[in-house]
Amino acid sequence: MLTPARLDQPVSEVPASVTVIDRELILASGARELYEVMRLVPGMSVAKADGNLPSVAYHGTQARDQRRMLVLVDGRSVYQPGFARVNWNAIPVALEDVERIEVTRGPASAAYGANAFTGVINIITRDPRDVDGQQTRVRAGNNGILDSRVAAAHQFDNGAWRLSLNDRRDHGYDADLPPLDTGDAKRVTTLNGRSVWELNPRDTFTVHAGGSRTRLDRPNERGLEAIADYRDDSQERAERAFLGLEWQRQVSPRHQFKVSLYGQYNNEDINLDLCYRDPITGTQGPGGGLYYSKELRDLYLANGGDIGQTLASAAADPAIQNRYATLQASGGGPFCGTGYLDVREERYDLELQDTLQLRPWARLVAGLNLRQDRARSQAFLSGTAENLSHRLFTSLALKPLPPVTVNLAGFWEHDDISGAHFSPRAGVNWEVLPGHTLRAVYARALRTPDIYEDQARINLPISGLSGPYGDRQGLLGWDPAYFFVTQRSPGTLDPERIRSRELGYYGRFAVGGMGGFELDVRYFQEELWDLVSGALNPFNFEPNNNGEVSHRGTEAQLSWRPSGRHLLRLTGAHIHTRATSATETRLAARDSAGALWLWRFRRDWWWSTGYYLARDYNDYPFERLDAQLGWRQRLAGAEWEWRLQVQQPLNSEPVVFAENEYQDDQRYWLTVTVNF
Amino acid sequence: MKDATGSTGRSLGIARLGRAICVLLAAALWAVPAWAEPLTVRLRAEDPAVAERFVAALDSVGGGRVTLVEQGADVTLALGETAFRAELAVPGRGPLLGLAVPRSAAGLVTPGCDCSAIWRGVPLATQLALIDALMPEAGRVGVLLGPASAWAPPLSMPRGRLLEAVLVPRPDRLAPLLRRYLPDWDALLLPDDEALFGPGAAKLVLLTSYRQRVPVFGPGADFVHAGSVASAYLDLSDLARAALERLEARRRHGEWPAQGFAGHYSLAVNDHVARAYDLNLVERARLERILETSP
């Protein structure tokens, strides 16, 4: 277990509750996409809350924002800095590339700094030295599911490499059920590669590289539909790439040093192809250009940003009347154009980490980190904004007595947006009996405002205007011309904060002839304050720190292997959430549970069944039963693997929001994998 | 009636006890003369350093029951396969006991050869008993076997556990087969196999398994020192003890007992590695009792 304290520790000694999702659990889950295996984590809220955008949040609060949890891939943060989110669709890792996923349940800013707020998910990809040969995989099912994969790995004298290309497509939620009537299909292509060189017995050099390309159909914006008609569907188009370098030196058996450097790039936009309706006649016409006129912007600002008041008073404003007359006299047809919600983000991160065994009973890890985040967006930032942060961290694991482990950690950081902050954590693990450990942890963490929250300047320009509308200055009063609604962040937001107390138990034991058990139980209290709870979109922009949430509850996870043929895994969480804002409870399920059973009924055959419950997400319960039949065989010198998966929702409720409803309740697919 | 019955019972008990003591005394009186005269043995070994240590172990556990001679020995002890093969080829040789001979060389012991052998390594059941104690939750145990391994397929399936044996035909196939099969196993068990799991393979096996969090058990003390969780192993004292037992049996019965594993083993546990995997840190005494009850 590497994640909780940046030290390689047994689970019984880490200062947190952890969930490890290994390759066997991934196989048993039958999951098709990375985010789905997070259902195996107690207390984790998992839902496609916004069309084809999965939401994954530990102790979930807001449905659409995933700002409060850090996600790492091989130690590299995929938490996107400009707009504080994790885009699960675009993480360039296929499930077949995953060695294991370590989930630290609880604040971990003391080890990873800001944004490791409610927890950390660390996705560890397969080491190329452990991957054999080539692989192809095809998957097809209902709901437009069509996935493919090709992968290769090769070992050479002092190292190895692996590379995989994955493509997955589906139709998303049903396209014919209003209001999600434009569909939310997706196509995601990812590339993931890793190469390792053992330079000498002490030095290892690793290169990580990859990227993704996503095409997501997006539902229509209801706010815009009130004033315009879509002439083409919106689509999110994104390209992402990353390159990471890591050098690790085993200075001595007790001393290890690591330098890691990575850069990542994200470029995405959503097109808004609209023909605006004349606010007077309600039909498409030149008067629709008023929404991009300088005069309506001025009136909007004069009304203090009140959209309703602005539109209600527009007809009586002389300047707007003149602009309307000018547009009508232009002889142009319907006012149609394209706006782009564009985002471009870059991150460069350098980290040095030193791990030292000070004494047989004391280990220390310390390091420093330098990071530059840059975000560019015409629509959201009206330009470019940056944030430079530097950090120092240390973590100490002590064993003053053989059954007792004390973990102390602290993380100091300074960034341009939030200034200096310190996040501490202290934990004590006491092995009261062999295989039975009690744990007490106290931690504080923070989430710093992202670049958008701090420096938003929303100005949505329009392009693709044809005919006389090309003369923006003459017909709209300014060039470039922007949508009349604008927002600006005051730049005064404070970091969100969390304080967590935990009492836990971890046991790994055998009971007579009943096989082995692994049990983790956690009781926790979490207080979150200074939360940015309000919406921050162009139509509704409430940048304040007024939100507060408290969580109190119990979680448990049990793995039981009654024999080599069976694995049973049970998880459950019961959480009381109180919040000052209803939006902070959208993804907070009071009760959630999961059960997974894997049965290897013959040497190369297996059956698995999964059951998942969350009651409720935004008043809608989620309940689903999965089943999988798998078979491996050797054929024509290759190993073939066949898997048939069925997912059966156990109720007809939508997922989080009313529009998230499948037309066909049952989903199924067949996966064929060939290893050669 | 009650008293009478009880009394009868006591009488019968005393009678049985007396008979048992007599049998034991007789056995002791019969046995003592057998060792009264030290047995003379001749030792042949490829490696003089190992031979020297074995002689010391034999002296230590033998208590003067055997005397090492160069000429006119009652029995020849051949340490290692090379020495065993060489002695078998000597014309007119006397009784011969091979020590630490690979099980793959079991065919050398033929009817009428007046020879026997003690195999290298430890039985599969002994190593599985260790896994039972240290990692009871290991449902799927993989075993990599080579042509010269101490165990040969088919392996007997332990109760409640899947044991998957994979044949490694040549040492250069070890890495690809590890990559292929290790993800399917909870623990990896290695047999004694000098050709497959020599010092050069330790790094490959142990690092590969550690990256995938699959604990390794076996094949011997060197591996445990390098990062294997635990292993029963045959050290020279165990071998000397087993040799004395074989010699005694032959002297008593006039013929060699069947070849097989030594029956006495030592224990190596890497507490650091066991702790890293959160395995049961079972009391050493309990683990040693497991070895004592091994075949």
Express each pLDDT in A156-175 by its tens digit: 989 999 999 999 999 887 65
Residue B47 DSSP code = -
Start-to-end CA distance of chain A, whole Å, equals: 32
Section A48-62 average pLDDT: 86
Residue B282's SS3 state is coil
Q: Does A144 touch chain B (CB under 8 A)?
A: no
The residue assigned the tokens 């097109």 is A271
**A217, A270 in Cβ contact below 8 A?**
no
Do B170 and B283 lie in one domain? The reply is yes
Do B137 and B88 lie in one domain? The reply is no
Among all residues of chain A, which has the CA nearest to that of B187? Answer: A564
For residue A105, what are the CA distances in angstroms to A42, A117, A201, A526, A577? 9, 10, 35, 12, 17
- Residue B30 in domain: no
Section A525-537 average pLDDT: 92
Do B58 and B169 lie in one domain? The reply is no
Do B229 and B248 lie in one domain? The reply is no
Section A77-94 average pLDDT: 88
CA distance A110 to A426: 9
Do B165 and B287 lie in one domain? The reply is yes
Is it the case that residue B132 has pLDDT exceeding 90?
A: no
Section A626-649 average pLDDT: 95
Q: What is the CATH number of the domain that holds B104?
A: 3.40.50.720
Would you state the structure tokens that stand for residue B86, as one six-digit string?
Answer: 């060489």
Does the bond joining A147 to the residue before it have cis omega, within 30 degrees of 0?
A: no
Do B275 and B216 lie in one domain? The reply is yes
Distance (Å) from the C-alpha of residue A269 to the closest C-alpha of chain B?
39
- Residue B202 in domain: yes
Does the bond joining A480 to the residue before it have cis omega, within 30 degrees of 0?
A: yes
Do B59 and B172 lie in one domain? The reply is no
**A19, A506 in Cβ contact below 8 A?**
no
Q: Does A623 touch chain B (CB under 8 A)?
A: no
- % of chain A residues with pLDDT over 90: 75
Is it the case that residue A193 has pLDDT exceeding 80?
A: yes
**Going by C-beta distance under 8 Å and a sequence separation of 6 or more, which residues neighbour residue A419?**
none
Bridge partners of B79, per DSSP, are: B45, B99
Residues from chain B that touch A130, judged by Cβ atoms under 8 A, are: 179, 182-183, 208, 211-212
- SS3 readout for A433-447: ECCEEEEEEEEEEEE
**Going by C-beta distance under 8 Å and a sequence separation of 6 or more, which residues neighbour residue A418?**
A114, A446, A448, A449, A494, A495
Would you state the structure tokens that stand for residue A112, as one six-digit string?
Answer: 């990873």
Q: Does B272 touch chain A (CB under 8 A)?
A: no
- Residue B78 in domain: yes
Is it the case that residue B78 has pLDDT exceeding 50?
A: yes
* Residue-range domain boundaries for chain A: 11-276+339-675
CA distance A623 to A650: 5
Query: Contact A435/B280, CB-based, under 8 Å?
Result: yes
**Looking at this protein, which amino acid is placed at residue A298?**
D
Do B71 and B145 lie in one domain? The reply is no
> Can you give the pLDDT at residue B27?
47
For residue B284, what pLDDT band results from cuts at 50, 70 and 90? confident
For residue A363, what pLDDT band results from cuts at 50, 70 and 90? very high
CA distance A575 to A43: 8
Spatial CA neighbour of B258 closest among B123, B115, B120: B115
**A282, A290 in Cβ contact below 8 A?**
no
Spatial CA neighbour of A360 closest among A321, A414, A398: A398
Q: Choose from B140, B162, B179 for mutation: most chain A CBs within 10 A.
A: B179
Bridge partners of B267, per DSSP, are: B232
Of A10, A509, A564, the CB nearest to B277: A10
pLDDT tens digits for A465-498?
Answer: 888 888 899 999 999 999 999 999 999 999 999 9
Is it the case that residue A143 has pLDDT exceeding 70?
A: yes
Residue A164 neighbours by CB distance under 10 Å:
25
**A102, A437 in Cβ contact below 8 A?**
no
The CB-side HSE value for A374 (13 A sphere, CA atoms) comes to 12
**Going by C-beta distance under 8 Å and a sequence separation of 6 or more, which residues neighbour residue B35?**
B65, B248, B251
Do B239 and B113 lie in one domain? The reply is yes
Residue A361 DSSP code = T
For residue B30, what pLDDT band results from cuts at 50, 70 and 90? very low
The residue assigned the tokens 């602009």 is A323
Would you state the structure tokens that stand for residue A673, as one six-digit string?
Answer: 């994998």
For residue B227, what are the CA distances in angstroms to A14, A401, A647, B73? 22, 24, 43, 43
> Can you give the pLDDT at residue A182?
59
For residue B144, what pLDDT band results from cuts at 50, 70 and 90? very high
Residue B236 neighbours by CB distance under 10 Å:
22
- % of chain A residues with pLDDT over 70: 97
Q: Does A434 touch chain B (CB under 8 A)?
A: yes
CA distance A16 to B91: 71
Spatial CA neighbour of A370 closest among A244, A251, A248, A260: A260
Bridge partners of A488, per DSSP, are: A457
Strands A516-531, A228-230: pairing is unpaired
Number of domains within chain B: 2
**Going by C-beta distance under 8 Å and a sequence separation of 6 or more, which residues neighbour residue A243?**
A207, A208, A209, A262, A263, A264
Do B151 and B202 lie in one domain? The reply is yes
Give the structural domain span for B158. 124-233+266-292
Is it the case that residue B28 has pLDDT exceeding 60?
A: no
Residue B291's SS3 state is helix
Distance (Å) from the C-alpha of residue B277 to the closest C-alpha of chain A?
6
Would you state the structure tokens that stand for residue A202, as one six-digit string?
Answer: 């002490």
**Looking at this protein, which amino acid is placed at residue B74?**
D
Do B209 and B243 lie in one domain? The reply is no
- Residue B21 in domain: no
Residues from chain B that touch A509, judged by Cβ atoms under 8 A, are: 280
Query: Contact B278/A600, CB-based, under 8 Å?
Result: no
In this structure, the dihedral spanned by the alpha carbons of residues B1, B6, B11 and B17, taken in order and rounded to 10 degrees, is 160
Q: What is the CATH number of the domain that holds B169?
A: 3.40.50.2300
> Can you give the pLDDT at residue A63?
73
Do B207 and B242 lie in one domain? The reply is no
Which H helix or E strand runs over A394? strand A383-401
CA distance A280 to A295: 16
- Residue B150 in domain: yes
- Residue B68 in domain: yes
Query: Contact B179/A130, CB-based, under 8 Å?
Result: yes
R_g over Cα of chain A: 27
CA distance A520 to A105: 11
Does the bond joining A107 to the residue before it have cis omega, within 30 degrees of 0?
A: no
**Going by C-beta distance under 8 Å and a sequence separation of 6 or more, which residues neighbour residue A387?**
A81, A372, A373, A374, A415, A416, A417, A451, A454
CA distance A223 to A197: 54
- B 145-204: CB under 8 A from A: 160-163, 175-176, 179-180, 182-183, 186
Class of the CATH domain delimited by A11-276+339-675: mainly beta
Residue B259 DSSP code = P
> Can you give the pLDDT at residue B2?
38
Query: Contact A567/B136, CB-based, under 8 Å?
Result: no
> Can you give the pLDDT at residue A165?
98
CA distance A13 to A441: 12
Q: Does A132 touch chain B (CB under 8 A)?
A: yes
Average model confidence (pLDDT) across chain A: 92
Bridge partners of A406, per DSSP, are: A398, A428
The residue assigned the tokens 């969930």 is A19
pLDDT tens digits for A404-446?
Answer: 999 999 999 999 999 999 999 999 999 999 889 999 999 999 9
pLDDT tens digits for A375-409?
Answer: 999 999 999 999 999 999 999 999 999 899 999 99
- Residue B99 in domain: yes
Spatial CA neighbour of B182 closest among B168, B194, B198, B195: B168
